[in-house]
A = this chain, B = another copy of it.
Amino acid sequence: MQDKNCQGRGQWHGKFHGCGCRMTAGRETVIRVLQETSKHLSADEIFIRARKINPDIGLTTVYRTLEKLSTMGEVHRLDSGDKRGRFELADSEKGHHHHLVCTMCNSIIDYDDFIDEEIKLLKETEKKLSQKYNFNINSHLIQFYGICEKCK
């Protein structure tokens, strides 16, 4: 049995086909980079790491892949406050977590404490909102903003 956090090429192949897209070397590389990090990388940082695996990949492909994965709900684009987008796999090895974002230095802390109750409430809320607004909810983003330990 395959661990759900260690999805192989096959699973992704299926996901892309499900929306009329193809699985390619470039896409596989970007996904692998995202799977192998615990950080919130920018497109450029992803590109640099991707080049080490697959020297032929272009920055444009990285952007296009992130865009597509984002639309598919497989990747979250975070706005950390600096002007580059930052990306993380929706269903990463880190497991479900939310963010503390420092508005001084733009650092992001992942947390997964106290999260069980949150998730329960979110599930209920999702259900109610889906019905009321006739909106298909795929994912959510929860962030707390403030000043981190260092910046205080």
Contacts and interface: CB of A to CB of B under 8 A. Distances in A.
Interface of A: 70-71, 73, 77-79, 81, 85, 100, 102-104, 109, 111, 113-114, 117-118, 121, 124-126, 128-130, 132-149, 152
Interface of A is mostly: mixed
B140 A111 contact: no
B125 A136 contact: no
A138 to B, nearest CB: 5
Contacts of A114: 124-125, 128-129
Contacts of A103: 70-71, 73, 138
Contacts of A152: 134, 136
Contacts of A133: 100, 109, 111, 148-149
Given A111-B133, A121-B121, A133-B109, A144 B126 contact: yes
Contact of A147 (B70, B128, B138): B138
Contacts of A128: 113-114
Given A104-B71, A121-B118, A139 B129 contact: no
